[in-house]
Each structure stands twice: as C-alpha cells, then as structure tokens.
Amino acid sequence: MHKKLVLMYGSHTGTAESIAQGMLAEAQSRHYDAVLLGLDDHEQQPFTAPDGGLYVIVCSSTGDGDAPDNATKCFRYLRKLKPLAKTQPFAKVEFALLGLGDTNYSNFCGAPLKVQKYLKDLGAEEFYAMGKADDAVGLEEVVDPWIENLWPVLEKKCARSSTGAALVEHEAVVSTAADLESAVAELQLSSSNLAHPPVFTLPAVPGYTFGKLAVPDLPATEAITTLTNLPKLVPPTVTVTPTGTMKPVDSDPIPFYSQFASPITKDFVPPFSAHNPTLATVSANSPRTLSSPGAVKTIVQLDLQVANKDHAWDWVPGDAFGVCTPNQHELALALAVRLGLAQWNADKKLWESPILYIHGQSGGPADLPLSLRDRPLLPRPSAAPSSTTEELPAKGHYYSGYELFRFILDIHSTPKKALWRHPTLPDARVGRGPGLLHVLESFPNAHPTLPVLLAHCPPLTPRYYSHTNTPLAPGAGTGTLQAVFNIVEYAVVDGQEPRSGLASKWLANMQPGTRVPVFPHLSNTFHLPAHLDVPMIMIGPGTGIAPILGMLRHRARQLQIARDLHGDAPAAVAAAPVWVFQGCRDPAKDWIAGDEMKALVEQGVISRYVPVFSRTHADGRAREQGSKYYVQDALREHAGEMRALLEGDSKAAAPGAGLAKVYLCGDAKSMAKGVMDALVDIVAEARGVQKTEAIEIVMEWVKGGRYLQDLW
C-alpha cells in the first residue's frame, strides 16, 4: 500500500485546480496523507522515486488539445523520457486521471489523453478508469460520480491513519424547520466582530440594481421543511482572521496588480503570465466602435501599447494576449457590504474594508488562485491589535475584504441558458443564472463565512484576445497590441436586470492612457504556414475574423518586404491561393474591415473573397423569414472550386501549390460543427466515399495540422 496520495492538476482557467483542491480537502478529511501539486511541480514528488507513488491527476486542455499553462514543463519532461520507454522507469507508479474537455473542439480531452499515453508508455499502471468530463454538457455529469467512486478504490491503494479507518459519510439531510435554522446558523459570519452597517441603505452603491432571485418551480423559502440530496460541501482549507485594521476601498485596479512588481526595481519582471502580468496603456483614439447603430452586437477595437518597451514579447498573428480583468467595482463592493466586509466612513466620505489575514492549512491558502499565493499582497498592518497579530504565523496573506471580491472570486454562477433564457430578449441578450449576490439577497439570513466562499467560488480567470495586427507594420513592433471583440450582453434571471460581459464592457469603457494588466498567450499551431507556396482557406464569422485579419495583414507585409528585396523583379515573388470566407449579419451594420478585405484582393494577398451575410442579401434586402445563410452554406456552394485546393489537383491549382491549410476561428458551440459537417460533405462528394470515411479524413487533417481551429 502506498503511504501518500499525490494529487496533481494541469489547469488553464482554474477549473481543474479547483476540482483538485476539493479532492485534497476530502482526502484530508478521510485522513489520507495527501499533497497537492501543479503538474509543473512534479519534481517535488518524482515519478521515478524508488518506491513509485500513487497519483490522482486532474488535467484540462487549452487550444486544440494543448497543455494547460502550468503543465507545459511536465509535458516536455515526459516527452524527453520517451526514448527510455523500454526500461519502464515509471513501473512502480500507479495513477488515475480525470480529463476536462469540450466536445465542441475536435481534439476532445487532447492534453489529458497525452498524459495518459506518456505515463502508460513509461510503465505506469492506470488503477482507475479515466474520466472524460465534457464542458459542453456540464463537467459535473462526469466529475461528481468519478470522484465519488474513486474513494472506495483508494481504500485498497493508499493507507490512512487509524482515526480515519471508521470514517462514515453522512448524507446532507435537513428534516425539520428547526434543523434548517440550525444548518443556516452554521453559515453565520462567526470569524468577524466587525461593525455591520445597515445593508443597501444610503449611502447607496451607485450603478448596480439589487434583485431578488426568482427560481422556476421553487416553493417559498418559508415553506421549506425538508431538504434532501444536497450536494456535499467542500471543506474550506483556509482560516480567516480580522486584523482590526481598515483600508480605503480603491476602485482603480492598477494599485492591486502593481503589488506584483519587483520590490527592488518597482517594475514588473518577465516572464509574464496570468500570475505575473505587465502593464499596457490604451492608445489614443481607442477604444473605438466598429459596428453601426442598430447592430445586434456592439463590436469594439482596442489598441494597446506595452508600457515598458523592454517588456514586449515575441508574437505573431494567431497568438493572443491575456487581460487580467477585475470584477465590476460596484458589484464587488455590494457583496462586501452584504457580508459586513465594507462600511461607509461618514467622516472621510469613503468606503473602507477590513484587512483580513488568510492562512492555508497546507502551508498556503490552497483555495486561492496561484497568482495570489506566496506573496505578501498588503503590508503587515502596524495598527493591528497585538493580541491578534502576535499569534499569526509568518507565512500568510493580507487582503481587504473588498479586494477578495474584486480581484479573486468569480462571483457569478455558471450560465444556465436553457433555464434562465427570457423569451422577450433578443438573441444577443441571453438570460443567465443568478450570481452570488442574488442568492444572498434571496436568503437574507444566510451569512456564509469567507472560508466557505473561498472554497466554493472559483478564481477569477483572465480573458484572451487574438491579435488583429501584425508586428511587421511600420512603426508598430511587438509592443503594439490590438484586439477586436463583441460586448457581451445578457440579462439576469427574469430579464429585468441587464448585464454586460465582465471583460468586454470594462475594456470598451477604457479611456486613452488607462493602464491594463496584460500577458502573452501564445499558440502552438494556429499560425501562418512557414512558406508562401501553401494555399489557405480561411473562415471567420463575426469577430472570428479578428485573428484571420491579423494573419492577412502579416502576409501582406511579408509579400511587400519580399517584393522590395527583389527590386525590379517583383513578379518573382509568387504566393499560393488564399480564400477567405467572412461572415456577418448585415453589411450595413457589422461588416468588419470589408473595405480592407477588398483592398487585399486588389493587392493579390487574397485570391478569392467570399463575404457571407446571414440576415440580408448582398444588395441589402432582408432574407426571407427563417432563411439564413452561413459560412458553412457558402463552403458547400463553392465546393467545386475549392476541390483543387483541398485535394491537390495540380491541373487546377496554382503552379507549385500544395494541399491547402484550413483555418477556422469563431464560436465553438454551433458554427464549428456546421463548418466541420460542410467539409465532411465536400470531401465525401469529392472522393466518392461514405460520410464515416470522410469524417476520418477530416480528422486526419486536424491531427496533421491541415485543419486549424481557434474556437471559444
């Protein structure tokens, strides 16, 4: 039997990490000697240890089956060991693997499957069947039963202390109204003796509407006497202690992110990441709206300049950059007020929030995201009561209650479009589930403790934006960043409270000169071919055209530079055909860079340009009721002409042209499947094969890098 249980995670947005944290807390409650590590920290519990080890791994994918951010070093390590497969260096390793993926992407659970193959090839034994959770239908459908059924198996694999041998699971059952009151009392904010002002009275928090939660088919809360089959609470793994010191609430997010700068140079130190961003400044005349009034979706272009030119990183079109986005100031403040963690100072005419000391049970606050661990975010409060601070261990973290909600917690619930969609809202304003504040307002007697919230609210994740510009543009360079995006709009619960996307609205309201925390997010595959003689078919509906536009601008500069080098013989520079399918609703309202696309055709950068208008005809006439025309329809319409590019017919293709690469960028939920189906139909007809065989052919394109997707 193994003596220690090693829990590892490969996480990109924090979901896999959060699941692993919950498993750690559960393992400790079952009295296992358990440790939690990111995959890149594998050397702390090496796979090659003499006595092997017992590993449970939770791993997600990024991009099209790529390794998540904190697993790239581990993947490289495992690949380097491939030549040693015959010696079976991991022969004493046993592992179980939970993969997180999305079937809207062609390479479902790509990264977890690579981990599984690497470990097995090197001799490790998989002692429990791999779970493949699908975000398209809900991760919990696989995650919850996979974890629940894992514990009985672990009992036979890993030793635990005698006190845990007789551990019995208790179903969460509340049988009477008195029990319900008792259960709610356990959630009271018992760790704080802070003065609690009247909630949601003057001075009011501006700019936010406090609504009640309206859940379909839920009886009145006062009528509930029995609650059964409640989901099991994740035990908190941190303690929270008030210091007695208050800090003014600062709505400017930059001072918070500036805490990540070097204490010596007072500047940010590369390499930059979501856990260590640098700053970029909003350029003059930015942001600007690209769509016309009346467009269903507002489209915005944002131009940034990395503040310190030495901090610019190398990138090419197809790559993206991340933005660290805080929660809405008013919403975070309202939540802090609701839980007694912000109060109005009438004398100073400002909001103040108490500084809290947070310490984790396992050497660090395990419920907090990586970016907020092992670094003193606030100076030790000098005015804190000695009876409190003298007893605090050296390793811990100080936050104000407001900062927790503004910069750490994702306080909105997962969207439940089918449940919360409001029939009177247009397509772009899809109703979503209630946020934490709605739930708390609907149950006014509930006051969950911060440790409970930290255990259940996921870390706030960064947002990623594809580059729409090229570093080859005159006077630009890699320090110039540009993105094009929609402002996401929706309504909460009953359609009475409109909201906008967290990052898109924040960025769209920026003023020139405003600083934004950014970091690189590079792609492994979604790039232009290395040579000009490779044909391309590029498909970008809506803002999916953004990275393709960057690629086309880059190709235009490449051709211009090559022709300049050839001097009097510009004809010596020949490029393979490039087809572009661009989709939008209405050319009069949301046709991004339409004139520029036509100019690229005239310059010879684009061989064939096919604009696709889903709601109108090319002449502006509205399409008939129920008749819509999408990029997948245009692909089928031009199948015969594209056959030469897809099949490599040398008679019809440009001289020297090889097989075309297909680039697709945009919505993963429906558009990507429609395009995949269209390509399958085109291949089936061109080769005279059954659809099943055509699917295998297109999937080989994906594996071989001929069909590249950048989906969200």
Q: What is the pLDDT of residues 455-500, one digit of tens each?
A: 777 777 889 999 999 999 998 899 999 999 999 776 654 445 666 7
N residues, the chain: 712
pLDDT of 216 reads: 47
pLDDT of 234 reads: 65
Mean per-residue pLDDT for 424-437? 52
Say what percent of the chain tops pLDDT 70: 76
Q: What tokens were used for 107? A: 């390479």
pLDDT of 617 reads: 82
Q: Would the CA dihedral through 637, 638, 641, 644 be positive or negative? A: negative
| CA Rg value for the chain | 28
529 burial level (CB within 10 Å; 0-12, 13-18, 19+):
middle
The residue assigned the tokens 């020949």 is 574
Residue 229: strand, helix, or coil:
coil
SS3 letters across 149-208? HHHHHHCCCECECHHHCCCCCCCCCECCHHHHHHHHHCCCCCCCCCCCCCCCCCCCCCCC
CA 547 remoteness from chain centre? 18
Q: How confident is the model at residue 179 (pLDDT cuts 50, 70, 90)?
A: very low
Residue 606, amino acid: I
Phi, psi of 8 (to 5 degrees): -130, 155
pLDDT in tens, 666-681: 988 779 899 999 999 9
The residue assigned the tokens 């055209």 is 545
Q: What tokens were used for 198? A: 């009247």
pLDDT of 436 reads: 77
Bridge partners, residue 709, by sequence: 664
d(CA 234, CA 147): 13
CB atoms within 10 A of CB 364: 20
- According to DSSP H, which parts of 390-435 are helical? 401-407, 417-420
Residues 242 and 354 sit within 8 Å (Cβ to Cβ): yes
d(CA 488, CA 510): 16
Bridge partners, residue 95, by sequence: 55, 126
pLDDT of 251 reads: 87
The structural domains of the chain, ordered by start, are 5-160 (3.40.50.360), 238-250+328-384+394-424+431-456 (no CATH), 272-323+462-521 (2.40.30.10), 536-711 (3.40.50.80)
Mean per-residue pLDDT for 335-348? 87
Mean per-residue pLDDT for 430-453? 70
Bridge partners, residue 158, by sequence: 2
Q: Would the CA dihedral through 5, 112, 115, 37 be positive or negative? A: negative
d(CA 554, CA 557): 5
SS3 letters across 534-570? CCEEEEEEHHHHHHHHHHHHHHHHHHHHHHHHHCCCH
Bridge partners, residue 49, by sequence: none
Task: Return all residues near 670 (Cβ < 8 A) that are at least 6 apart.
Answer: none
The residue assigned the tokens 């291949």 is 683
Is residue 356's pLDDT more than 60? yes
d(CA 266, CA 261): 6
pLDDT in tens, 679-703: 999 999 999 999 999 999 999 998 8
Task: Return all residues near 361 (Cβ < 8 A) that are at least 6 apart.
Answer: 28, 237, 238, 239
Q: Output the CA torsion 452→454→455→460 (10° steps).
A: 150
Residue 200, amino acid: F
CB atoms within 10 A of CB 310: 9
Question: DSSP character for 264?
Answer: T
CB atoms within 10 A of CB 44: 10
The helix, strand and coil proportions of the chain, stated in percent and rounded to the nearest 5, come to 30, 25, 45
Mean per-residue pLDDT for 83-93? 94
Bridge partners, residue 246, by sequence: 354
Q: Residue 677: which H helix or E strand, with range?
A: helix 671-687
Bridge partners, residue 518, by sequence: 278, 323
pLDDT of 176 reads: 43
Nearest by Cα to 404 from 345, 326, 470 = 326
d(CA 360, CA 588): 56
pLDDT in tens, 47-77: 999 989 999 999 998 877 788 888 989 999 9
The two most distant CA atoms of the chain are separated, in Å, by: 91
pLDDT in tens, 581-636: 999 999 999 999 999 999 999 999 999 999 999 988 877 788 887 788 999 999 99
Is residue 182's pLDDT more than 80? no
d(CA 336, CA 352): 10
